Amino acid sequence: MNKILKAACIFTLITITGAGCKDDKEVLTETDPGIFADKPFDINKLTDTYGGISSLSFSWKWGPYNLHDPSIIKEGEWFYCYSTDVGYGITPKVGIMVRKSKDLVDWKYIGWALNGLPEIGAKYITDNGHTPVQGLWAPFIMKVGSEFRLYYSLAPTSGRTSCIGLLTSGSPEGPWVEKGIAVTSVDTGPGTNAIDPSVVVTPSGQHWMVYGSSWDGLYELQLNPQTGLALNPGDKGTRIVRRGRTNGIVNGNLEGPEIIFNPQTNMYYLFVAYDWLSTKYNVRVFRSANPNGPFLDWNGANVDDLADNDPMILAPYQFLDQSGWAGVSHCAVFQDNGQYFMAHQGRPGIDRAFMVMHVRKIFWTPEGWPIVSPERYANVPDNTVTAGEIAGEYEQIVLGYVTVPGFEAEQTDPQYNISFSTVLGTDGKINNNPNNSWAFNAPWLELRWEGGLFVDKLHVSRERDWEQKKESTIVMTGLNGSGLAIWLKKVEKKVE
């Protein structure tokens, strides 16, 4: 989120007075007294842009719009999403945006968690000679016992004298009470920017927070499970992730960590954001047997090195008949009854200042790596795909780009990964080439290239075709032998 200050075209943040999440009727009913009545939801009416309803007067219509840096939790029948104070072409209200949904598709905007900046966080910044930004960034939500804990990020207008504070409540809709500050940062000396928190709870009950943006990588510290604050007051933690560029210089285009524990693999996974939020923003993932690392990449390298690490499982992309999606990172990872999901922003190529929520299914490779669906989640019936349905023409995307040395200079172009045609023939050939073949053993498909010299392993499922507004199609996602992400989406064309 620190990159927001460097990208002035993205959004502006100032204080606006108003009520809290439950009482925000002044804004939410300003233009339509009947907005709280149930209305039929039509997925086909969701669009890539939303200029006509981006203002505060239409906040009740925002749903998945004006969304950045989500954090999601399920309570009862509702999923709750908390996110950064942002808005397309407007000055947003301050206080952490709150949405809820029963199906991860039809989102209802219900207001703000707070009415302005938290006093304790703002006081830390002013006491240290800085002016706080009038906006709260990158919240993180979790539940401990019967208490909901909502961490927020508050930064200064310049520098990195920032803090991650804690709010608590007995309800996901508030009211929220300030409990203190978990970790802070200052402008000078080693360390990172104290924003972008994520917390994982180990099977034994330990709480670990990963945080950071720009400067010297990402840090991790242990929390007190009873208070939600640092186990050792004043602890900044230990660095666990860095990036590098030419001549051994730290690359600051690294932020937005999300850490989870998957009991199915007994591993900890750390999802991180590379590059700038309106262009090449992409998701990398690393893993460890321990909550505090070391975290390793696809090749087994420690990611606390001066290098770019893989796998990259989500990056700017473009299917046919759509302008492309840039900025697809700073993700939330959560699960419901064992099914994992990833939520993140998406910025349409037609105007990359718009911010739309994307939710995707996560699948796990036999080797224990997460992969994400090529298409956004739409609650499509999960009917098993049969071998007889596989043959046909697909749009294929290979997720990758060439890293250009430098910091700001490399961030002007999203470098969309653009789809191209791939035909899986009824005779088992790929693109009618006898040296390339495919084989299906549900739910996994293998693409065998050059007589099997190279093999892509893809998970096959069904999902909505958002570009064609088709209710369901076959999609595939996976990694090749080098950890490169491969996507396929079936299109309606006959194969001879």
pLDDT reported for residue 190: 87
- Cβ of 118: how many Cβ atoms within 10 Å? 26
The string of pLDDT tens digits covering residues 417-469 is 999 999 999 999 999 999 999 999 999 999 999 999 999 999 999 999 999 99
The string of pLDDT tens digits covering residues 462-493 is 999 999 999 999 999 999 999 999 999 999 86
Counting runs of H as helices and runs of E as strands, what totals does the chain give? Answer: 2, 33
The structure's pTM equals 0.92
pLDDT of 119 above 90: yes
| Domain 2-36+45-372 bears CATH identifier 2.115.10.20 | yes
Taking all residues of the chain, what is their mean pLDDT, rounded to a whole number?
91
pLDDT of 5 above 70: no
Q: Which CATH class is domain 387-491?
A: mainly beta
Cα dihedral across residues 296, 459, 413, 97: positive or negative: negative
pLDDT reported for residue 495: 44
Average pLDDT value for residue range 376-387: 95
pLDDT reported for residue 163: 98
The string of pLDDT tens digits covering residues 257-315 is 999 999 999 999 999 999 999 999 999 999 999 999 999 999 999 999 988 999 999 99
pLDDT of 107 above 70: yes
Q: What percent of the chain has pLDDT over 70?
A: 89
pLDDT of 33 above 70: no
pLDDT of 494 above 60: no
Name the helix (H) or strand (E) containing 25.
helix 25-28
The string of pLDDT tens digits covering residues 393-411 is 999 999 998 665 555 556 7
CA 194/CA 130 separation, integer angstroms: 15
pLDDT of 361 above 80: yes
Average pLDDT value for residue range 33-49: 75
| Length, in residues, of the chain | 496
CA dihedral 346, 350, 352, 354 (to 10 degrees): -70
Average pLDDT value for residue range 31-44: 63
pLDDT reported for residue 402: 66
Structure tokens at 195: 């924003």
Partners of 474 in the beta sheet?
462
- Residue 235's identity, in one-letter code, is D
Average pLDDT value for residue range 66-78: 98
pLDDT reported for residue 38: 52
Domain ranges of the chain: 2-36+45-372, 387-491
| Burial class (CB within 10 angstroms; exposed 0-12, middle 13-18, buried 19+) of 102 | middle
Structure tokens at 156: 């200064």
3-state secondary structure of 280: coil
Average pLDDT value for residue range 88-107: 97
3-state secondary structure of 94: coil
CA 225/CA 231 separation, integer angstroms: 8
pLDDT reported for residue 8: 30
The answer for 68, left when phi > 0, alpha when psi is -120 to 50, beta otherwise, is beta
**Cβ contacts of 356 within 8 Å, gap of 6 or more:** 48, 50, 64, 65, 67, 345, 346, 347, 348
In order of 206, 212, 395, 428, 433, the CA distances from 436 in angstroms are: 49, 44, 17, 9, 5
Q: Note if the bond before 175 is cis, omega within 30 degrees.
A: yes
> How do strand 317-318 and strand 417-418 relate by DSSP bridges?
parallel
Average pLDDT value for residue range 130-138: 97
CA 57/CA 79 separation, integer angstroms: 24
Q: Which of 22-26, 43-47, 109-113, 177-181 has the lowest mean pLDDT?
A: 22-26
C-beta separation of 142 from 197 below 8 A: no
Same CATH topology for 2-36+45-372 and 387-491?
Answer: no
Average pLDDT value for residue range 36-45: 77
Structure tokens at 371: 């992969």
Average pLDDT value for residue range 347-367: 98
C-beta separation of 270 from 285 below 8 A: yes
pLDDT of 169 above 90: yes
Q: Measured in Å, how far apart are the chain's first and last C-alpha atoms?
A: 50
pLDDT of 6 above 60: no
**Cβ contacts of 119 within 8 Å, gap of 6 or more:** 178
Q: Which of 123-137, 168-182, 240-254, 467-481 has the lowest mean pLDDT?
A: 240-254
Please tell me which residue, 246 or 400, carries the higher pLDDT value. Answer: 400
Please tell me which residue, 308 or 77, carries the higher pLDDT value. Answer: 77
C-beta separation of 260 from 200 below 8 A: yes
Burial 363-397 (b: 16+ CB within 10 A, else e): bebeeebbbbbbbbbbebeeeebeeeebbbbbbbb
Cα dihedral across residues 99, 100, 106, 108: positive or negative: negative
How far is C-alpha 235 from the geometric centre of its chain's CA atoms?
Answer: 27
